Chain A
């Protein structure tokens, strides 16, 4: 916050930093941000929920982001999503009950040339098939 001079207009930048540090936006940190930047808490909450990038809940141990951009969709991203959902017992946008895997969908990862794509714990992989993702997820779960 200091970097942006405690400017109320740096709210989004600040929330990015908070999420980078803690992995998600906790209620107490939202309150702290509101207080320090002198912005109503309602606006902080409004901004945090408006943008897809901000998470208000902690993510699982492993994070899988499946690209649902047009190119990936045309090349079968739906199948990947279904496969991961089955293998890890998780629905898109949620974290599995055991806290192992979070499954997220992305609008476009920008590697459309290698569609379909997904990101496994920060590593981008392209030209995926259902059996590829099945193996990745099983590897995470130690099966």
Chain B
């Protein structure tokens, strides 16, 4: 494949799209699939055929349309118009096909002017819900791989890194390390073999950004990886993905295979001397493998236990060679930055956090789903306008950053979303899970939930994490059982401090965050459990308390 052939595919795709009057896009991402969108798609196809519209109308599966709460979602595209339908069932299919080219079906229609859509800014998700994730031609048709073409033909590796540095992009895995700096370290590292690794071990419960990108637009991540490999001089790549995501794995396999077939992966990419192979490696259910040194051990076929840093993977990673590890979302930002330029990207966001960030909005909100917003938007806008609190309920706290994050209460909702502000509140940006809680959740119980998670996911290598977190869990159990004293609370706080400062890797260092942040904002709830032996939310079963769990 060379650049002319790539352009030819773009032309062909354009022609075949122009010959269609309508396209019915059915969401086949994880959320809608579990609401049986495959059945809806099958019936729609049958209806289109029966109406004799086979030549003018195409039914296709697309990636995530965002509003998972109202799935299955479908989008009907015709000319300039785009109509979104929600909660579609197989019985609705004839009506939808009948309405093609006429007035849309009002009772199913979802206006795209609602804040859920209008407040978002989609860069990474721009193709999600528009292209078929299992056809590379569609990705190329909407401009895919033109960033790779530009990098290979017009830019030197140092110029690619320069653009990434200028964009101000920071690691989207949670820690926020500047991506350009990481790339330039790896490119300067000495080694005959270099690797790029895509971290798709999204272990945070309540986070589903990475799997959604991989299942909705896998080629974008692959393109980002190829550009990164070119920039740092790597010739071998790995994507480490959780085995719990069968859908993402299937689509990634297809995507890699198709890219290889077109010569976008393999030897002499786009007719240049640059070569890269990408292999898929499956995780096996260990949260700690999201930590980069543990992830490397796991790719090498060992138990996923972290090791002390330095040396950092940028200098000594996979098989002791320089290795670039970035998160799925980070790679997905790359093509856009190359196309539009680093300065363009840097105009979005705040002074220190640039661009957009995806969040998985879940919990007690009306509009659960996947969103992408510019950095600097405040939490209130996300939760009240995009999410929406159900009537009759009161917002209590929002949990960000998964098990390493914290709970943020009402009084801090005007905080802008960026790496530093969230850290200041005792939480973290994390990979982007955002779970909203209302008055029906007990804060102590939630803290216990996360500590239990960290307890079972601790790899057991270092003592503060292995033993400390277990002790923290026991103390929390004592509190929720109503058997604790104020001394226990003091002990818990002391323990948090020790575990935070002495653990080997990020898992242990951040494990106390859920306790510390809830103690900071909801101390009275802890005290109610200890002194009044009562759970204000009625979740914890304290003997003698009248309220029982729902």
Chain B positions 193-243 with a Cβ under 8 Å from a chain A Cβ:
203-208, 211-212, 243
Instruction: Say how far B66's CB is from chain A's closest CB, in angstroms.
Output: 9
Contact B550 A52 (CB under 8 A): no
Q: Which chain B residues (502-550) contact chain A, with CB distance < 8 Å?
A: 549-550
Asked if A95 is at the interface of the complex by the 8 Å CB criterion, the answer is: no
- The answer to whether B362 and A71 touch across the interface, beta carbons within 8 angstroms, is yes
User: Do B205 and A108 touch (CB < 8 A)?
Assistant: yes
Binds B, one of A11-19, A56-64, A83-91, A132-140: A11-19
Q: Are B208 and A115 in contact (CB under 8 A)?
A: no
Establish whether residues B302 and A52, one from each chain, have CB atoms under 8 Å apart when the complex forms.
Answer: no
Contact check, A16 vs B243: say whether CB atoms are below 8 A apart: yes
**Using Cβ atoms and an 8 Å threshold, which residues of chain B touch A69?**
205-206
The answer, among A12, A50, A109, A126, for a CB contact under 8 Å with B35, is A126
* Set of chain B residues within 8 Å of A125, measured between Cβ atoms: 34
**Complex: A74 Cα to B453 Cα, angstroms:** 14
With A13-B282, A74-B435, A112-B208: A46-B303 Cβ-Cβ less than 8 Å: yes
B244 touching A107, Cβ below 8 Å: yes
Contact A9 B300 (CB under 8 A): yes
| B71 neighbours in A (Cβ, 8 Å) | 113-114
Q: Is A54 an interface position by the 8 A CB rule?
A: yes
Q: How far apart are the CA atoms of A53 and B204 in the complex, in Å?
A: 16
Q: Which residues of A contact B212 (CB under 8 A)?
A: 110
Contact between B244 and A53 (Cβ–Cβ < 8 Å)?
A: yes
Q: How far, in angstroms, from A5 to B407 measured CA to CA in the complex?
A: 48
User: When chains A and B are docked, how far (Å) is the Cα of A12 from the Cα of B304?
Assistant: 11
Please tell me if A29 contacts chain B, counting CB pairs below 8 Å.
Answer: no
Asked if A126 contacts B34 (CB within 8 A), the reply is yes
Q: Is A79 an interface residue (CB 8 A)?
A: yes
Instruction: Please list 10 pairs of residues, one from A and one from B, whose beta carbons are closer than 8 Å in the complex, sorted by A's number.
Output: A10-B301, A51-B304, A70-B433, A70-B450, A108-B204, A109-B244, A111-B30, A112-B362, A112-B368, A113-B68
Q: Which of A51, A53, A113 has the most CB of B within 10 A?
A: A113
> B384 an interface residue at 8 Å Cβ cutoff?
no
Give me the interface of B with A, judged by CB distance under 8 Å: 30-31, 33-35, 67-69, 71, 203-208, 211-212, 243-245, 281-287, 298-304, 360, 362-364, 368-370, 399, 402, 433, 435, 437, 441, 446, 449-450, 453, 459, 549-550
Check A41 for interface membership: any CB of B closer than 8 A.
no
Per the bound structure, the CA–CA distance linking A126 and B32 in Å amounts to 10
CB-contacts of A71-127 with B (<8 A): 71, 73-76, 78-79, 106-115, 117, 124-126
Task: Please report the C-alpha to C-alpha distance between residue A16 and residue B285 in the assembled complex, in whole angstroms.
Answer: 12
By the criterion CB–CB under 8 Å, are B206 and A108 in contact?
yes
Q: Cβ of B402 and Cβ of A70 under 8 Å apart? A: yes
**Among the interface residues A13, A74, A79, A124, which one has the most CB atoms of the partner chain B within 10 A?**
A74
* Residues of the A chain whose Cβ atoms lie less than 8 Å from the Cβ of B370: 113
CB distance from B108 to the nearest CB of A (A): 18
A27 touches B (CB below 8 Å):
no
Chain A contacts for B441, CB-based, 8 A: 74
A110 touches B30 (CB 8 A): yes
> Quick one: closest A residue to B203, CB to CB?
A107
Count how many pairs of residues, one from A and one from B, have CB atoms less than 8 Å apart in the complex: 144
Interface size counted on chain A using CB atoms at 8 A? 42
Q: Which residues from A are CB-within-8-Å of B453?
A: 107
How many angstroms between the C-alpha atoms of A46 and B301 in the bound complex?
11
CB-nearest residue of chain A relative to B453?
A107
Contact B284 A15 (CB under 8 A): yes
How far, in whole Å, are A113 and B68 apart by their CA atoms in the complex? 5
A84 → B minimal CB distance (Å): 16
Alpha-carbon gap, A53 to B284, bound state (A): 5
Is A47 engaged at the interface, CB distance under 8 Å to the other chain? yes
Residues of B within 8 A of A51 (CB): 283-286, 304
Q: Closest CB of chain B to A96's CB: distance in Å?
A: 23
- Cα–Cα distance between A128 and B37 once the two chains are bound (Å): 18
Contacts of A8 in B (CB 8 A): 301
A66 CB-CB contact with B under 8 Å? no
- Looking at the complex, which one of A10, A47, A79, A107 makes contact with B205 (CB distance below 8 Å)? A107
Complex Cα spacing A109 to B247, Å: 11
Contacting residues, chain A, for B205 (C-beta < 8 A) = 68-71, 73, 107-108
Contact residues in A for B245 (Cβ distance below 8 Å): 110
Would you call B362 and A115 a contact (CB within 8 A)? yes
0/1 interface trace, chain A 14-28, chain B, CB 8 Å (1 if under) = 011000000000000
User: What are the 9 closest A-B residue pairs judged by CB atoms, nearest first?
Assistant: A113-B68, A51-B284, A70-B206, A69-B205, A52-B285, A71-B362, A53-B285, A112-B362, A124-B34
Instruction: Tell me the smallest distance from the CB of A59 to a CB of chain B, in Å.
Output: 15
Q: Using Cβ atoms and an 8 Å threshold, which residues of chain A touch B287?
A: 107
- Chain B contacts for A107, CB-based, 8 A: 203, 205, 244, 285, 287, 453
A11 touches B301 (CB 8 A): yes
Distance, CA A62 to CA B345, complexed state (A): 50
B541–chain A nearest beta-carbon distance, Å: 11
Min CB–CB distance B17 → chain A (angstroms): 30
A79 touches which of B207, B285, B402, B550 (Cβ 8 Å)? B550
Bound-state CA distance A39–B303 (Å) is 13
